[in-house]
């Protein structure tokens, strides 16, 4: 199998970020909360490769630990969102009837409020901890996964080959796992990439607003918030996470695009 | 003799293809075709899909659809080579000197604008007529084409008229600017057979009445024989044979043309019904959930072992609904299905594995009847596992036997559906049905998505398999030629009722009821003068009006 | 009753029902949580007296349904309640901030909508050539960067380094002259524009391409019409509904983007107010802001649907 250049680059950087997240304690030169300089916003030097932040912590270390938190939270929320969304979506599609109506209407209702706004409403009374964040983000986002999985499953369900399997007498489990799932997998995997990006952006936004990961814990959105003040003095420390988030998101996007294209070309292929 | 209206010389057309996993590259799809079309004459372009006939038709307007490009040759219209003309000149040609009638008028009319505005647009824009003159001419054409209320029909929107009427409006659109040449691209293919004949007659009369030259593109030789003066047979972008209608129909020279001419001539002597029926449909009345009217009314038919019952009807006749009732997908409101001596549960869920095994189904679109992620071996092997618990060598041996029966070899076992041609796909579906060793197979329009020669092959295969496996077919189709070719018993369906039912000879012999007469007489026959003959003998108006 | 009127009435009724249900959901979001709201507002160290006072103030001793109904009753009459922290009337605090937010969103829309449609058309016109590819590249980048970072990048380069614009919107005064106001919000407007532009461009492109690939466009071309006539007479009447849809969906999205951008540029709008109130756990303000944002969002989606009903020829001219 030939991997196109764009997808290869995407895969490389995605892997790089995940490895950095896993091995953060080994890679980071200093602790994430360790004050290592008496100055503030030291410029990059041999000692501090990216300089220091507003209270003299090593920025590179905070970026590495921040990536770990951001990627961890986003991954956990994506997994939650996917398991909930796709299980319920397939269920709604295959069961039909009132199960489908109930789930679909509830999802319509949830989606008529922008997720950021609803998250803010809920977080106004919730203690802001990692599990709460993952739960709120994952469940709110599962509505989108639900809609996609349901739509994909409904599209496949009306295919004659599914009818043929029914007429053969196959059980529902067989139909879901052998007829529907193999054909739904690629769009769902591609969507998983997009959902992950969205989760990264979501948690970063919440942290930036001061309602996500709490200090001194580092995460990319929080690093922006901590160093935002420096911007007006011409100190670009707050822009650092921009680079990190954008490269991670673009890499995942490139991989997702590739997965999706492979599916469509397989479907569109003619004898 | 004057110059021909349209002179095509060594026309070459290319296209860019995007094969999965490969770099896009250019291929040639028409390899140097030449012909002449005299003023007021009709040339039929005929061929199967991929022959390049539509592409050639559009090239007469210097137009390439999608990624199609004209790569060489000359197209002379009114003494000018349009391929050497600039964009401005080509624009002046389109809609004024040459116009186009597409296969689907429903898609080709802008849904947001009134019919009349669209019919006169080219004539007015190209300064052929004033708006007033053009409208008058459009009304006159509506009248000539046999449209109801010719003075007001133009004030309607496209979705407000029937498919057959819209197709005639499209013809009016093409004729309104008084062009020198009209390109008809499969103008009747999407219509029901009884509607097709009216549109065909209207088109023919309009062509004759206006003295316009026409290119008539179709895959149906019998249709083109009614309207053309000359015929060109095309295959894979090459000319196969080019001659007068009389010569092509009555004395074809090339093997391919002969095959096309004789395509509907399978002979199948009807078998007498003996023993107990394998399937008895008793007083079936059915409607779809949430609707207020019955799609089937009190339907009764029988199918005998090893025989073929053809259920024939036009769209909306209820023939496919009958299949859904028999398979248990749509439980009927009244009536019951007896199968192999037992009464079947109305609901799919209530049927035994044996019931399901003995009653198999083959679909119209083989593409979507097979899971694209399974190999041919898996697809054919599944019923063997499921019904007979076969596995390993035994299963493999049986799969190879079945592949032989459908005239495909062992090498097809590991292929995916996307790697098969249309005919091969349908063969695999047949093998999957046979794998269950059924008593009966429902064949739902199994040949209508295929080219005539390929369809012919499938029908021959089915007849052959019927002899070997002693299986009964319930054959659902809209195509009477297919019915003639394979049936022992026929049920003609019309508006949810069985209009006529009996042995093939009975049903196809007079005296006829009005609908059966209309249906039978509407099937184009491959002889000159058939159209005029039929029109003059009709008793009943077709549904399209 | 004509079909169109019926469908419109249904759609508007649906919008109202949705709004009603959303109010319930927002209210529920602030009460059906584990633990005690008063406790989580005041923290673990709160004295029992303070907790009891807050519970009474929030009406927590009454049943939830009754509280919801009285909140909803107030809402319908335009009474949004009192803020916990400042003790001020929420309606009063919100009205000025809401108009500030709408001012910002309005100017962002004024810039973004025509620009996006123009660029979308450009992408269609030069399909598969470099302008199209550049546009899809920018789209990929912009959906990958959070709004606040776009804001800071603009602030850093154009506000601080180049000094072309005010880096923040702190100079904004609602009663200043229009030009001064616009000058102070130049960067937030630019940021919001960038946030929605890519999406809107891409969706506009897709909507027009979808129409341009219809058979009736081929018919128009084969009538010898020129490119402009084809687009204006045949593509546009059918593309209006999808384009309005695209615009409305993106304006709805803009409403959410505004929250973050206001915080970045320290702009005195609803978003800033909402975020502050969430940090201070001022539940009544959060509920009020939440329902207003949701109402705007539902309203935009409703307008999009109404336009597509009105522009559907099959519904306007039934058989």
Rg (CA), chain A: 22
Neighbour count for residue C105 (Cβ, 10 Å): 24
Q: Which of B330, B368, B371, B427 to mutate to test the interface with A (most CBs of A within 10 A)?
A: B371
What's the rounded Cα separation, in Å, for the pair B177 and B129? 7
Q: Is the dihedral of CA B329, B333, B337, B342 positive or negative?
A: positive
SS3 (DSSP) at B415: coil
What's the rounded Cα separation, in Å, for the pair B319 and B311? 6
**Per-residue model confidence (pLDDT) at position A1:** 57
**Per-residue model confidence (pLDDT) at position C199:** 82
Q: What is the β-pairing status of strands B489-494 and B308-312?
A: parallel
The top-scoring range by mean pLDDT among A209-213, B250-254, C48-52 is B250-254
Fill in the DSSP letter of residue B531: H
Q: CB-based contact (8 Å) between B94 and chain C?
A: yes
- Test A120 with C148 for CB contact under 8 angstroms: no
**Per-residue model confidence (pLDDT) at position A269:** 31
- Test C216 with B160 for CB contact under 8 angstroms: no
Return phi, psi of residue B16, to 5°.
-95, 130
Chains that touch A (3 or more CB pairs under 8 A): B, C
- For residue B339, what are the β-bridge partners? B279, B342
pLDDT tens by residue, C51-74? 788 777 767 777 778 888 888 888
Total length of chain C: 319
Chains that touch C (3 or more CB pairs under 8 A): A, B
**Per-residue model confidence (pLDDT) at position A267:** 38
Q: Is the dihedral of CA B76, B80, B81, B82 positive or negative?
A: negative
Residue A76 contacts residue A138 (beta carbons within 8 Å): yes
**Per-residue model confidence (pLDDT) at position B540:** 64
**Per-residue model confidence (pLDDT) at position C32:** 60
**Per-residue model confidence (pLDDT) at position B2:** 59
What's the rounded Cα separation, in Å, for the pair C310 and C319? 16
**Per-residue model confidence (pLDDT) at position C17:** 92
Three-class secondary structure assignment of chain C: CCHHHHHHHHHHHHHHHHHHHHHHHHHHHCCCCCCCHHHHHHCCCCCHHHHHHHHHHHCCCCCHHHHHHHHHHHHHCCCCCECCCCCCEHHHHHHHHHHHHHHHHHHHHHHHHHHHHHHHHHHHHCCCCHHHHHHHHHHHHHHCCCHHHHHHHHHHHHHHHCCCCCCCCCCCCCCCCHHHHHHHCHHHHHHHHHHHHHHHHHHHHHHHHHHHCCHHHHHHHHCCCCHHHHHHHHHHHHHHHHHHHHHHHHHHHHHHHHHHHHHHCCCCCHHHHHHHHHHCCCHHHHHHHHHHHHHHHHHHHHHHHHHHHHCCHHHHCCC
CA B525 vs. chain centroid, Å, equals 15
SS3 (DSSP) at B334: strand
**Per-residue model confidence (pLDDT) at position C74:** 85
Both tokens assigned to A252: 């995942």
**Per-residue model confidence (pLDDT) at position A265:** 43
Residue B413 contacts residue B427 (beta carbons within 8 Å): no
Calculate the alpha carbon distances from A61 to A37, A177, B344, C118 in Å. Answer: 13, 45, 73, 45
**Per-residue model confidence (pLDDT) at position B122:** 93
Among the partner residues C25, C30, C145, nearest to A242 by beta-carbon distance:
C145
- List alpha helices for A158-239, DSSP H: 160-168, 172-174, 181-208, 220-231
Q: CB-based contact (8 Å) between C9 and chain A?
A: no
- Test B102 with C215 for CB contact under 8 angstroms: yes
**pLDDT over threshold 60, residue A271:** no
Nearest-10 crossing angle of helices C3-29, C283-310: 160
How wide is the angle at C-alpha B409 spanned by C-alphas B407 and B411, nearest 5°? Answer: 155
Q: Domains of chain A: which residue ranges? A: 67-219+235-270
Q: Domains of chain B: which residue ranges? A: 39-53+86-261, 279-370+439-509
**Per-residue model confidence (pLDDT) at position C37:** 66
Burial class (CB in 10 A: 0-12, 13-18, 19+), C220: buried
**Per-residue model confidence (pLDDT) at position A139:** 93
pLDDT tens by residue, B431-448? 999 999 999 999 999 988
Residues in chain C with CB shorter than 8 Å from the CB of A233 are: 160
What's the rounded Cα separation, in Å, for the pair C134 and C198? 11
What's the rounded Cα separation, in Å, for the pair B240 and B218? 15
Neighbour count for residue B353 (Cβ, 10 Å): 11
**pLDDT over threshold 80, residue B103:** yes
**pLDDT over threshold 50, residue B545:** no
Residues in chain B with CB shorter than 8 Å from the CB of C222 are: 61, 63, 94-95, 99-100
User: How close does chain A come to B369, measured CA to CA in Å?
Assistant: 4
User: How close does chain B come to C5, measured CA to CA in Å?
Assistant: 19
The CATH class of B39-53+86-261 is alpha beta
pLDDT tens by residue, A165-203? 999 999 888 888 889 888 888 888 878 888 899 999 999
What's the rounded Cα separation, in Å, for the pair A61 and C76? 52
Q: CB-based contact (8 Å) between B160 and chain C?
A: yes
What's the rounded Cα separation, in Å, for the pair A66 and B335? 70
Ramachandran class of B32: left when φ > 0, alpha when ψ lies in -120 to 50, beta otherwise? left
pLDDT tens by residue, B342-367? 999 999 989 999 999 999 999 998 88
Q: Taking residues B143-160, what's their average pLDDT?
A: 89
Return phi, psi of residue B29, to 5°.
-110, -20
- For residue C213, the chain B residue with the least C-alpha distance is B66
Residue B14: its H or E element: strand B6-17
pLDDT tens by residue, B451-503? 888 888 999 999 999 988 889 999 999 888 888 888 999 999 998 999 999 99
Neighbour count for residue B108 (Cβ, 10 Å): 26
Residue B104: pLDDT band with limits 50, 70, 90: confident
At the second CATH level, the architecture of B279-370+439-509 is 3-Layer(aba) Sandwich (3.40)
Residue C1: pLDDT band with limits 50, 70, 90: low
Residue A237 contacts residue B389 (beta carbons within 8 Å): no
List all residues 6 or more positions away from A121 whose beta carbon is below 8 Å from its beta carbon. C26, C29, C30, C278, C286, C287, C290
* pTM, entire model: 0.81
Write b or e for each residue in A73-94: b if 16 or more Cβ atoms lie within 10 A of its Cβ, otherwise e: bbbbbbbbbbebbbebbbbbbb
Q: Which of C21, C40, C144 to mutate to test the interface with A (most CBs of A within 10 A)?
A: C144
**Per-residue model confidence (pLDDT) at position B333:** 92
What's the rounded Cα separation, in Å, for the pair B106 and B167? 8
Domain A67-219+235-270 has CATH 1.20.1250.20: no
What's the rounded Cα separation, in Å, for the pair C154 and C173? 22
Could you tell me which residues of chain A have a Cβ less than 8 Å from any Cβ in chain B? 2, 159-161, 163-164, 166-170, 178-179, 182-183, 265-271
pLDDT tens by residue, C272-309? 999 998 888 888 888 899 999 999 888 988 888 888 88
User: How close does chain C come to B92, measured CA to CA in Å?
Assistant: 6
Neighbour count for residue B44 (Cβ, 10 Å): 26
Burial class (CB in 10 A: 0-12, 13-18, 19+), B291: exposed
More confident residue, A214 or C104: C104
**What is the percent of chain B where pLDDT is above 70?**
97
Chains that touch B (3 or more CB pairs under 8 A): A, C
Q: Which domains does chain C have, with CATH numbers?
A: 90-316 (1.10.3720.10)
User: How close does chain A come to B234, measured CA to CA in Å?
Assistant: 21
Among the partner residues A161, A170, A265, nearest to B370 by beta-carbon distance:
A161
Q: Taking residues A210-239, what's their average pLDDT?
A: 84
Q: Taking residues C218-236, what's their average pLDDT?
A: 88
**pLDDT over threshold 80, residue B235:** yes
Ramachandran class of B529: left when φ > 0, alpha when ψ lies in -120 to 50, beta otherwise? left
- Test C30 with A125 for CB contact under 8 angstroms: yes
Residues in chain B with CB shorter than 8 Å from the CB of C317 are: 156-157, 159-160
pLDDT tens by residue, C166-215? 888 877 888 888 888 888 888 999 999 988 888 888 888 888 888 888 88
- Test A112 with C298 for CB contact under 8 angstroms: yes
- List alpha helices for A23-129, DSSP H: 24-27, 59-95, 97-111, 115-123
Nearest residue to B469 via CA among B536, B401, B415, B528: B401
Nearest residue to B361 via CA among B407, B326, B387, B314: B326
Residues in chain B with CB shorter than 8 Å from the CB of C223 are: 94-95, 99, 121-122, 125-126
**Per-residue model confidence (pLDDT) at position B229:** 92
Residues in chain A with CB shorter than 8 Å from the CB of C140 are: 250, 253
- Test C216 with B107 for CB contact under 8 angstroms: yes
């Amino acid at each position: 199998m030939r991997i196109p250049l764009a997808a290869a680059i995407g895969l490389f950087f995605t892997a790089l970020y995940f490895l950095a997240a896993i091995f953060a304690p080994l890679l980071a030169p200093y602790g994430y909360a360790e004050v290592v300089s008496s100055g503030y916003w030291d410029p990059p030097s041999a000692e501090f490769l990216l300089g220091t932040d507003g209270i003299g912590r090593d920025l590179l270390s905070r970026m590495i630990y921040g990536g770990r938190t951001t990627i961890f939270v986003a991954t956990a929320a994506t997994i939650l969102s996917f398991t909930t969304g796709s299980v319920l979506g397939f269920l709604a599609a295959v069961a039909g009837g009132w199960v489908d109506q109930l789930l679909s209407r509830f999802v319509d209702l949830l989606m008529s409020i922008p997720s950021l706004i609803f998250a803010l409403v809920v977080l106004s009374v919730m203690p802001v901890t990692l599990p709460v964040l993952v739960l709120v983000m994952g469940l709110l986002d599962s509505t989108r996964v639900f809609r996609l999985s349901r739509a994909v499953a409904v599209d496949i369900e009306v295919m004659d080959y599914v009818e043929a399997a029914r007429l053969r007498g196959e059980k529902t489990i067989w139909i879901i796992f052998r007829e529907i799932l193999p054909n739904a997998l690629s769009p769902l995997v591609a969507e998983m990439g997009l959902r992950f990006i969205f989760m990264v952006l979501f948690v970063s936004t919440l942290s930036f607003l001061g309602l996500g990961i709490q200090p001194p814990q580092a995460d990319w959105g929080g690093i922006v918030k901590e160093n935002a003040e420096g911007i007006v003095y011409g100190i670009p420390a707050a822009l650092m996470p921009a680079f990190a988030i954008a490269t991670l998101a673009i890499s995942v996007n490139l991989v997702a695009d590739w997965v999706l294209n492979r599916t469509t070309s397989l479907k569109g292929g003619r004898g | 003799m004057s110059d021909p209206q349209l002179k095509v010389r060594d026309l070459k057309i290319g296209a860019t293809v995007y094969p999965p996993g490969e770099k896009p590259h250019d291929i040639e799809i028409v390899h140097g075709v030449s012909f002449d079309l005299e003023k007021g004459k009709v040339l039929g372009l005929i061929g199967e899909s991929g022959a390049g006939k539509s592409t050639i038709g559009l090239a007469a307007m210097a137009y390439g659809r999608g990624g199609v490009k004209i790569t060489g040759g000359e197209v002379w219209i009114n003494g000018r080579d349009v391929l050497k003309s600039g964009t401005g000149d080509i624009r002046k040609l389109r809609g004024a000197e040459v116009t186009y009638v597409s296969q689907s008028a429903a898609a080709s009319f802008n849904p947001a604008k009134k019919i009349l505005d669209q019919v006169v647009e080219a004539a007015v824009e190209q300064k052929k007529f004033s708006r007033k003159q053009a409208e008058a001419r459009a009304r006159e054409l509506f009248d000539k084409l046999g449209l109801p209320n010719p003075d007001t029909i133009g004030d309607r929107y496209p979705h407000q008229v029937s498919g057959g009427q819209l197709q005639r409006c499209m013809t009016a659109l093409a004729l309104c600017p008084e062009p020198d040449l009209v390109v008809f691209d499969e103008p009747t293919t999407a219509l029901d057979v009884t509607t097709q004949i009216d549109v065909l007659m209207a088109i023919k009369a309009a062509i004759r009445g206006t003295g316009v030259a026409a290119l008539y593109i179709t895959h149906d030789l019998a249709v083109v024989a009614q309207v053309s003066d000359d015929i060109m047979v095309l295959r894979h972008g090459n000319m196969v044979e080019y001659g007068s209608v009389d010569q092509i129909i009555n004395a074809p020279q090339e093997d391919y043309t002969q095959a096309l001419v004789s395509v509907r001539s399978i002979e199948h002597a009807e078998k007498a019904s003996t023993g107990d029926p394998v399937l008895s449909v008793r007083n079936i009345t059915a409607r779809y959930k949430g609707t207020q009217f019955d799609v089937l009314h009190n339907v009764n038919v029988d199918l005998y072992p090893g025989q073929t019952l053809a259920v024939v009807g036009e769209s909306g006749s209820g023939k496919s609904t009958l299949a859904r009732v028999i398979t248990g997908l749509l439980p009927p409101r009244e009536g019951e299905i007896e199968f192999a001596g037992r009464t079947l549960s109305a609901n799919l869920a209530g049927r035994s594995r044996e019931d399901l095994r003995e009653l198999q189904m083959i679909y119209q679109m083989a593409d979507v009847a097979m899971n694209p992620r399974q190999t041919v071996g898996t697809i054919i092997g599944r019923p063997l596992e499921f019904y007979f618990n076969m596995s390993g060598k035994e299963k493999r041996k049986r799969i190879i036997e079945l592949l032989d029966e459908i005239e495909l070899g062992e090498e097809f076992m590991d292929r995916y559906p996307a790697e098969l041609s249309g005919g091969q796909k349908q063969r695999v579906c047949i093998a999957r049905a046979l794998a269950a060793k059924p008593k009966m197979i429902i064949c739902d329009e199994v040949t209508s998505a295929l080219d005539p020669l390929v369809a012919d092959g499938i029908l021959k295969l089915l007849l052959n398999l019927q002899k070997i496996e002693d299986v009964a077919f319930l054959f659902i189709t809209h195509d009477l030629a297919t019915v003639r070719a394979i049936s022992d018993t026929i049920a003609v369906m019309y508006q949810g009722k069985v209009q006529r039912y009996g042995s093939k000879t009975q049903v196809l012999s007079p005296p006829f009821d009005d609908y059966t007469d209309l249906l039978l007489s509407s099937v184009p026959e491959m002889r000159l003068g058939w159209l005029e003959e039929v029109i003059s003998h009709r008793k009943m108006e077709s549904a399209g009006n | 009753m004509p079909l169109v009127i019926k469908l419109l009435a249904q759609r508007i009724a649906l919008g109202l029902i949705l709004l009603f249900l959303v109010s319930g959901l927002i209210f529920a979001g602030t009460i059906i949580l584990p633990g005690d709201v008063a406790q989580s507002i005041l923290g673990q160290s709160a004295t029992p007296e303070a907790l009891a006072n807050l519970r009474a103030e929030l009406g927590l001793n009454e049943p939830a349904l009754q509280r919801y109904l009285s909140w909803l009753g107030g809402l319908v009459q335009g009474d949004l309640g009192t803020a916990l922290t400042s003790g001020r009337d929420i309606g009063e605090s919100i009205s000025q901030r809401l108009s500030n937010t709408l001012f910002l969103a309005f100017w962002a829309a004024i810039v973004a909508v025509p620009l996006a449609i123009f660029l979308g058309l450009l992408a269609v016109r030069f399909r598969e050539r470099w302008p199209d590819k550049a546009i899809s590249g920018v789209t990929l980048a912009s959906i990958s960067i959070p709004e606040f970072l776009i804001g800071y990048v603009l602030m850093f380069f154009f506000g601080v380094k180049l000094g072309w614009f005010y880096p923040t919107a702190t100079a904004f005064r609602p009663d200043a002259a229009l030009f001064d106001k616009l000058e102070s919000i130049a960067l937030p407007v630019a940021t919001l524009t960038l946030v929605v532009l890519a999406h809107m461009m891409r969706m506009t492109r897709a909507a027009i391409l979808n129409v341009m690939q219809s058979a009736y466009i081929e018919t128009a071309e084969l009538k010898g019409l020129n490119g402009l006539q084809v687009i204006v007479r045949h593509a546009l009447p059918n593309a209006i509904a999808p384009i309005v849809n695209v615009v409305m969906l993106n304006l709805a999205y803009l409403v959410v983007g505004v929250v973050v951008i206001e915080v970045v540029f320290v702009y005195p709008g609803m978003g800033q107010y909402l975020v502050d109130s969430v940090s201070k756990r001022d539940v009544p303000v959060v509920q009020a802001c939440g329902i207003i944002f949701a109402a705007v969002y539902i309203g935009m989606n409703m307008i999009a649907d109404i336009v597509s009903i009105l522009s559907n020829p099959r519904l306007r001219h039934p058989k």
